[in-house]
C-alpha cells in the first residue's frame, strides 16, 4: 500500500477504501455534524421541510447556541427561538445552550475523537483537527445534504506539513505561531488543501493550544488543520468522557508525500496582525507604541482556560491603563468555572476587566460591545473591517499575553517585558 498522510488515512477510512490519492473524489460517511444558532435550524428547518426528509442520525448531530446569545434584540430572540423550538421538535440529544463557543464546547464534551470525519456549519470547524479528526466547515446547502443523508463528497487534498522545531519561549503561544505562518503564506497559502502541524514544538503544546493552531488553519486558507493524536489527546478525551481512543493508526507515514516547511519555535517572538487582515502580521518589535482603547480577550482562539491563565500572568498585581476597557468573554462556562476555582478570574477582575457572557460575542460582531472609531487589540481569529461590529474600529490581533500587556500599558508592548 502506498504511503499515506494523516489526511489520506482519515478520508480512506471514511470512504471505506484501503488508500486514497490526492485528487481522488470520494464519498465519505459523516460521523458528526455540528451547527449553531446562526448556521443551523433557521436555515436547515425550511429546507428539510421542503425536501420532506428528516435527520439521518440524531445522535450524530450537535447543536450549540453561541452566536446570538444572550439575546440582545428581537432579531436575536427570533433566531434563538427557532433553534430551541426545532431542537425540541427533533428531540436532539446533544444541545448546548449558552454554555460557550461551539469549537470549544464540542470537544470538551467528548464529541470528537481521532479517526472521525466531521463537518461544521462554521468556518472555524477545522478546530476538530487538533484531535486527529478530519473536520471542516460547510455552508448550509452542503450541511443540508449531510443532515439528510449522512454523506458528503470530498476531493482528497495534498498535505502541507508545517514542522515546528525547538520550543516556544515564555510569553509566546500557538497564536503567535499561526500569525507568523499567516503573515508568511497569506490567507490563501493553504490553497484549500490539508495542513498538518508537527514537530517538537507542536508536541509540547497542550490540547487547547493545538486547538488554536487547527482553528486558525482557516485563516491560512486550508480545508483542515491536523495534529496527529498522542498521549495528550487521549488524556484530554478521557477526561471529557470520550473513552479509549486509537492513536497509532492516525499518524502520517514518515515517507508520505507532502509539501514540507520548517520553522524554529525557539526564535519566534510575539506577533501582532494589523488591520484589516490576519495576513498583516509582523513581529511585535516592528510596531511603535500604538495606543489602544479596547483590549478584548475572547473567542475560540483566545479565551479558553489556558488563555485566561496567560492573561492573568501579565495582569497579576497590575491595573489596566486609564482610558482602556478590558473585556473578557471566557470561551466556555466550564473553563470560566475552572478559572474561578484557580483564582484566575479574580486576578482579571482586580485588574479592571469586565466579564462578558460565554458566547462568540464581539468576535462575530454581536452584542455591541465595541465602540465606533477605537483601536482594539483582540485575541480573536479575524480582524476584517466590520468583523467586530463598527467598520470604523481598527482591530489588531494578538495572543492573550500581548492583549493583556497592551491593556496595562495602554499601547502595543512586548508582553515579555512584563513577564520577566
Closest C-alpha among 377, 368, 383 to residue 406: 377
Which three cell numbers mark 59? 445522535
The Cα–Cα gap between 72 and 361 comes to 11
Q: What is the pLDDT of residue 416?
A: 98
Q: What is the pLDDT of residue 175?
A: 98
> HSE (CB half, 13 Å, CA atoms) of 264?
3
Phi then psi dihedrals of residue 337, to 5 deg? -65, -40
- Domains in the chain with CATH codes: 6-264 (3.30.499.10), 272-418 (3.30.499.10)
pLDDT in tens, 174-185: 999 999 999 999
Instruction: Provide the H-helix boundaries in 217-298.
Output: 231-239
Confidence of residue 217 (pLDDT cuts 50, 70, 90): very high
The Cα–Cα gap between 83 and 65 comes to 8
Q: Is the pLDDT of residue 95 over 80?
A: yes
3-class secondary-structure state, position 329: coil
Rg, C-alpha atoms of the chain: 21
Q: What is the pLDDT of residue 369?
A: 82
The Cα–Cα gap between 387 and 384 comes to 5
The Cα–Cα gap between 23 and 226 comes to 19
Q: Strand 354-355 and strand 281-283: pairing?
A: unpaired
**Reported pTM:** 0.97
- Helix or strand (DSSP H, E) at 31: none
Q: What is the pLDDT of residue 365?
A: 84
Confidence of residue 329 (pLDDT cuts 50, 70, 90): very high
Closest C-alpha among 43, 48, 220, 14 to residue 135: 14
Amino acid at each position: 500500500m502506498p504511503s499515506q498522510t494523516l489526511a489520506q488515512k482519515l478520508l480512506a477510512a471514511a470512504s471505506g477504501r484501503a488508500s486514497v490519492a490526492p485528487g481522488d473524489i470520494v464519498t465519505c460517511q459523516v460521523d458528526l455534524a455540528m451547527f449553531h444558532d446562526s448556521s443551523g435550524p433557521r436555515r436547515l428547518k425550511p429546507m428539510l421541510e421542503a425536501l420532506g426528509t428528516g435527520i439521518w442520525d440524531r445522535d450524530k448531530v450537535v447543536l450549540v447556541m453561541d452566536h446570538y446569545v444572550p439575546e440582545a434584540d428581537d432579531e436575536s430572540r427570533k433566531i434563538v427561538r427557532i433553534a430551541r423550538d426545532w431542537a425540541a421538535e427533533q428531540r436532539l440529544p446533544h444541545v448546548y445552550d449558552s454554555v460557550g463557543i461551539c469549537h470549544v464546547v464540542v470537544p470538551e464534551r467528548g464529541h470528537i475523537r481521532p479517526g472521525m470525519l466531521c463537518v461544521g456549519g462554521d468556518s472555524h470547524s477545522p478546530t476538530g483537527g487538533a484531535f486527529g479528526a478530519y473536520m471542516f466547515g460547510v455552508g448550509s446547502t452542503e450541511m443540508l445534504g449531510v443532515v439528510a443523508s449522512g454523506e458528503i463528497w470530498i476531493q482528497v487534498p495534498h498535505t502541507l506539513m508545517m514542522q515546528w522545531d525547538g520550543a516556544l519561549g515564555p510569553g509566546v503561544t500557538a497564536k503567535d505561531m499561526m500569525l507568523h505562518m499567516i503573515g508568511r503564506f497569506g490567507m490563501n497559502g493553504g490553497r484549500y488543501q490539508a495542513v498538518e502541524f508537527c514537530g517538537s514544538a507542536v508536541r509540547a503544546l497542550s490540547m487547547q493550544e493545538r486547538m488554536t493552531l487547527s482553528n486558525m488553519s482557516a485563516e491560512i486558507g486550508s480545508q483542515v488543520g491536523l495534529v496527529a493524536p498522542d498521549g495528550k489527546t487521549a488524556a484530554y478525551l478521557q477526561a471529557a468522557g470520550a473513552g479509549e481512543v486509537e492513536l497509532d493508526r492516525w499518524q502520517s507515514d514518515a515517507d508520505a508525500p507532502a509539501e514540507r516547511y520548517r520553522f524554529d519555535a525557539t526564535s519566534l517572538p510575539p506577533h501582532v496582525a494589523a488591520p484589516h487582515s490576519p495576513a498583516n502580521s509582523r513581529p511585535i518589535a516592528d510596531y511603535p507604541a500604538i495606543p489602544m482603547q479596547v483590549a478584548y480577550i475572547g473567542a475560540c482562539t483566545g479565551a479558553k482556560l489556558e488563555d485566561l491563565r496567560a492573561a492573568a500572568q501579565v495582569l497579576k498585581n497590575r491595573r489596566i491603563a486609564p482610558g482602556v476597557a478590558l473585556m473578557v468573554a471566557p470561551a466556555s462556562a466550564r473553563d470560566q468555572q475552572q478559572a474561578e476555582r484557580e483564582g484566575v478570574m479574580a486576578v482579571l477582575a482586580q485588574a479592571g476587566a469586565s466579564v462578558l457572557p460565554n458566547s462568540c460575542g464581539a468576535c462575530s460582531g454581536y452584542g455591541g460591545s465595541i465602540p465606533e472609531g477605537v483601536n482594539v487589540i483582540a485575541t480573536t481569529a479575524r480582524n476584517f473591517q466590520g468583523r467586530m461590529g463598527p467598520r470604523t474600529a481598527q482591530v489588531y490581533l494578538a495572543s492573550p499575553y500581548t492583549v493583556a500587556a497592551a491593556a496595562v500599558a495602554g499601547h502595543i508592548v512586548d508582553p515579555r517585558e512584563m513577564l520577566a
